[in-house]
Structure 1
Amino acid sequence: MENTTYRVRVHKTEVRKNVAGKVTSYRVQWSTDGKPWKRTFQKSAQADAYRSKLLTAAREGEPFSLATGEPVKWSRVERPEMTWYDFACKFADFKWKAASAKYRQDIARALTAATPAMLTSGKGKPSDLHLRTAMRRWGFNTKQRAEASEETAEVLAWLAKNTRSVSALTEAATVRALLDAATSRLNGKTAATSTIRRHKTILQNAMDYAVELKLLDSNPIKALKWKPPRVTYEVDRRSVVNHAQARRLLAAVQAQQPSGKRLVAFFAVIYYAGLRPEEVVRLGEDNITLPELARNPESGELEEPADGWGELRFAGAAPFAGREWTDDGSLREERALKHRAEGETRIVPCPPALVRILRAHLAEFGTDPGGRLFTGVRGGELAGITCRRVWAKAREHALTEKEAQSPLAKRIYDLRHACVSTWLNAGVPATQVAEWAGHSVDVLLRIYAKCIVGQDEAAKRRIADALKDLDSPV
């Protein structure tokens, strides 16, 4: 048992007196593993009784706590017992209402990854795949649990009977095994850094909840010497496309059938206005302000103004989550803008190139009955898999073989990085870029630090100028 010792010495009681020689108190003194302890009593009988209890515990071989100095059994209280699986379900239910659909999935994944470390028996054990599926899709899903099939219910029943008690997490070795399982891939290798930190945070929150339920005295993860790897939030400069590459990619999107032509504007909004994909799918015609067409004095026809800027004004996003994780059963969850309060809007300028693309999109495809710009070919929700497939094929056709094998624009989200990098390199103040991108200034500069071109050379020139007078031979 960790944090305990059997090396105990009980010393003679110290009689404490004031300056007049009158006895004021009695101090019991003892040590555990060399660490001194003391406790003061007003009466001699109280001190003698306490000292006698210490001596008896030491003689009977009771372990003493290094944290309190007293016998371990003195601090033991009867606690409710709960299996890990039952507790994990209770924690998922506790977090469900306030959590976003995406975070609900994160909780289920973290608990699913950690649970194998808490299994007590292999007898009658279902396959690992069946266990993971049952936990992630049903057991740790508050909405779905009661709807599990008979086969899945049997798997969950086996889990309920074959996981250790939460009280087992008072042992550091068990806590370490739990964390190791939660931060590893199925092949035993270490998970991605972001996954490690996310799962560790979720489990730490779960342990706080166990303390609240009085299943544990304290959070065992906080006491563990376990340091997660560092996470880098900086954008990889190699993933950022230049304007020529972006235009080739958009042209390659347009050439694809049947979805490409209606997706050009979708990708263009990310590249030219820096919106997140979940913000773009929610855009409606009422979120767009386009400049008035100008009449050509020679032909008399209406044309796009030469330098006509528009504006995007929006107040929500709709990240994909899956029907089983949203409250209303929709594929996407309607939410406020990231890092902003409910109802708060963001305004982003719409450059002339994007104005032309959006006007052409509206002219050809219009909007759905709800006013949304982007839908599937047959109407309905724009599927994320469709966007990813079209983008992957566009990279194959628009980029060189070497570029296609690199991180260049590998994810759709990299178009947003390209947009924000363009704004910063064009000299737009960081405060304005942060407002358009929906970031705080410090986060913006931390993420895009390596994408600001020319600052290092400018800094070198300033240093060289400052040292010119010192360049004479010594």
Structure 2
Amino acid sequence: MAVRKEPSGRWRAVVKQGRRYVDGATFNTQREAKAWEQRQKAALAGAVDLAARKQPVRSLLLMWIEERKQTVATTTAHTDAAMIQRLSAAFTARAVGSVTDRDVQRVLNTWSGKYAEASVRRFRASLASFFGWCVSERCIESNPVSGSQVPRKDAEPGRMKPLTETELEQVAATIREFDERAADLVLIASWTGLRWSELRAITVADFSRVPVPVLVVRRAAPEGVAVKTTKGRRARTVPVADRVLRLVEACADGKAGDDPLFTSSTGARLHASGFKKAAHWKQSAKARRIHDLRHTAICLWLARGVDAATVQAWAGHASISTTNLYVQHLGTVADRAGLDRLNTPGHTGGTHGEEDGASNANTPGR
């Protein structure tokens, strides 16, 4: 290795292994050239192939994904593919050896502004696996993902946009003018709290009428992905309230046990794009997402006085803290009861019940 000054006044650093030329770079200052030289020395000491460091991320991703999909579950392979699709062209064009933890952190920050925290964590795990593979292939010395963190997203209750019962009925009535089944599905989703992927996966056999009408949620069927377990990775039971029992029974009529319970008005498998088109969603849904129907159900249960632990079980929340976000959004039953008491007419006295304007000898300052 050597650093020398070029006739142009810039500094040239050259790396060799024995007599074989490996790499070279030109810098504006001697300090930059020597720092680069030291990094190459460290890479050689770590048995890293310096030529491999210059390969673009894009080409290595293709090699990695081909090897990895033979050894991981289908859902993991889908996550890997989704992660690659979300990487920018500028990032994948970079030489793998030039990617730092700061570059990875910028990627995670960008993803965090677009996707849910759980999704970003899955993408980070895939990216970490890729760079770990690069380390094992002697392309880089260390994994740049190790020094990065997924930005935390506080699930603030204010971000929820559930419908009130009145708004729900208005939305359903508006959609019914365009498509009866779409309106029924809006009501069913808003009273059962099923995620869209769970709504697609429920079969007729999952609907039981005795001893009480319930839906057994065992699977999820995200669009474009194979059927998998629910988000909570365990089955749960969701009651079917009288308001939508007749609608669910109508969906089951004439179908076999293995048939999807909820289908479109033409009997086809549910797809969000088709559902939104049939429902004229943009003009009918009061600026809500389909997922807000799940928020609507959870808030509706709590507003009707169902305790948080039961709501947690119905919703399939892994932690009661998630359910409590909805409690904070609505206020507890005690909060509402206390407010009702405050608003009760006829009680205008102080804490000891004295009449308005009466003096209390024990009150300081009087």
Give TM-score, length-normalised by structure 2: 0.68
Matched, 1:216 2:148: no
**Structure 2 counterparts to residues 96-111 of structure 1, below 5 A:** 96=69, 97-100=72-75, 103-110=79-86
Matched, 1:79 2:1: no
Q: In the superposition, relative to structure 1, how do residues 203 and 269 fare at CA in structure 2: closer, same or farther (>3 Å)?
A: same
Amino acid at match of 2:244: L
Query: Counterpart in 1 of 2:19?
Result: none
Q: Secondary structure at the match of 1:348?
A: strand
Q: Secondary structure at the match of 2:201?
A: coil
* Rounded Cα–Cα distance in structure 1 between residues aligned with 2:293 and 2:43: 61
Query: Counterpart in 2 of 1:384?
Result: 272
Contact map agreement 1:346 1:435 (CA 8 A) in 2: yes
* Rounded Cα–Cα distance in structure 1 between residues aligned with 2:242 and 2:90: 55
Q: CA deviation at 1:248?
A: 1.8
Q: CA deviation at 1:277?
A: 1.0
Query: Counterpart in 1 of 2:91?
Result: 117
**Of the candidates 260, 283, 295, which is equivalent to residue 396 of structure 1?**
283
Contact map agreement 2:109 2:150 (CA 8 A) in 1: no
**Of the candidates 276, 279, 297, which is equivalent to residue 198 of structure 2?**
279
Amino acid at match of 2:213: G
Query: Counterpart in 2 of 1:416?
Result: 294
How many percent identity over aligned positions?
A: 18
Query: Counterpart in 2 of 1:168?
Result: 98
Q: In the superposition, relative to structure 1, how do residues 360 and 443 fare at CA in structure 2: closer, same or farther (>3 Å)?
A: same
Query: Counterpart in 2 of 1:88?
Result: 61
Larger radius of gyration: 1
* Rounded Cα–Cα distance in structure 2 between residues aligned with 1:85 and 1:192: 22
Matched, 1:360 2:360: no
Contact map agreement 1:375 1:382 (CA 8 A) in 2: yes
Matched, 1:348 2:238: yes
Q: CA deviation at 1:415?
A: 0.9
**Structure 2 counterparts to residues 4-403 of structure 1, below 5 A:** 72=42, 75-79=45-49, 81=52, 83=55, 84-96=57-69, 97-100=72-75, 103-110=79-86, 112-113=87-88, 115-119=89-93, 164=95, 166-169=96-99, 172=100, 175-177=101-103, 179-180=105-106, 183-184=109-110, 191-192=113-114, 194=116, 197-198=120-121, 200=124, 202-223=126-147, 229-236=151-158, 239-256=161-178, 260-290=179-209, 309-321=212-224, 332-340=225-233, 344-363=234-253, 366-367=254-255, 370-391=258-279, 393=280, 396-397=283-284
Q: CA deviation at 1:219?
A: 2.0
* Rounded Cα–Cα distance in structure 2 between residues aligned with 1:206 and 1:459: 55
* Rounded Cα–Cα distance in structure 2 between residues aligned with 1:439 and 1:62: 55
Post-superposition Cα deviations, 1:21-46, rounded to whole Å, max 9, x if no partner, equal: xxxxxxxxxxxxxxxxxxxxxxxxxx
Contact map agreement 2:172 2:187 (CA 8 A) in 1: yes
Post-superposition Cα deviations, 1:51-79, rounded to whole Å, max 9, x if no partner, equal: xxxxxxxxxx9769999xxx858834343
Give structure 2 stretches of 5+ with no counterpart.
1-32, 343-349, 353-361
* Rounded Cα–Cα distance in structure 1 between residues aligned with 2:83 and 2:36: 38
Residues paired across the two proteins, number: 306
* Rounded Cα–Cα distance in structure 1 between residues aligned with 2:324 and 2:60: 38
Query: Counterpart in 2 of 1:328?
Result: none
Contact map agreement 1:239 1:414 (CA 8 A) in 2: yes
Q: In the superposition, relative to structure 1, how do residues 92 and 229 fare at CA in structure 2: closer, same or farther (>3 Å)?
A: same
Query: Counterpart in 1 of 2:310?
Result: 432
Q: CA deviation at 1:368?
A: 7.0
* Rounded Cα–Cα distance in structure 1 between residues aligned with 2:217 and 2:265: 24
Post-superposition Cα deviations, 1:215-235, rounded to whole Å, max 9, x if no partner, equal: 322222434xx6664413234
Q: CA deviation at 1:355?
A: 0.9
Q: In the superposition, relative to structure 1, how do residues 102 and 443 fare at CA in structure 2: closer, same or farther (>3 Å)?
A: farther
Post-superposition Cα deviations, 1:449-472, rounded to whole Å, max 9, x if no partner, equal: 5423257947988xx9xx969x94
Q: CA deviation at 1:354?
A: 1.4
* Rounded Cα–Cα distance in structure 2 between residues aligned with 1:320 and 1:74: 47
Contact map agreement 2:217 2:237 (CA 8 A) in 1: yes
Q: CA deviation at 1:444?
A: 2.1
Q: CA deviation at 1:417?
A: 0.5
Q: CA deviation at 1:118?
A: 5.0
* Rounded Cα–Cα distance in structure 1 between residues aligned with 2:258 and 2:61: 40
* Rounded Cα–Cα distance in structure 2 between residues aligned with 1:194 and 1:227: 14
Q: In the superposition, relative to structure 1, how do residues 458 and 205 fare at CA in structure 2: closer, same or farther (>3 Å)?
A: farther
Q: CA deviation at 1:436?
A: 0.9
Contact map agreement 2:108 2:120 (CA 8 A) in 1: no
Q: Secondary structure at the match of 1:389?
A: helix
* Rounded Cα–Cα distance in structure 1 between residues aligned with 2:338 and 2:154: 26
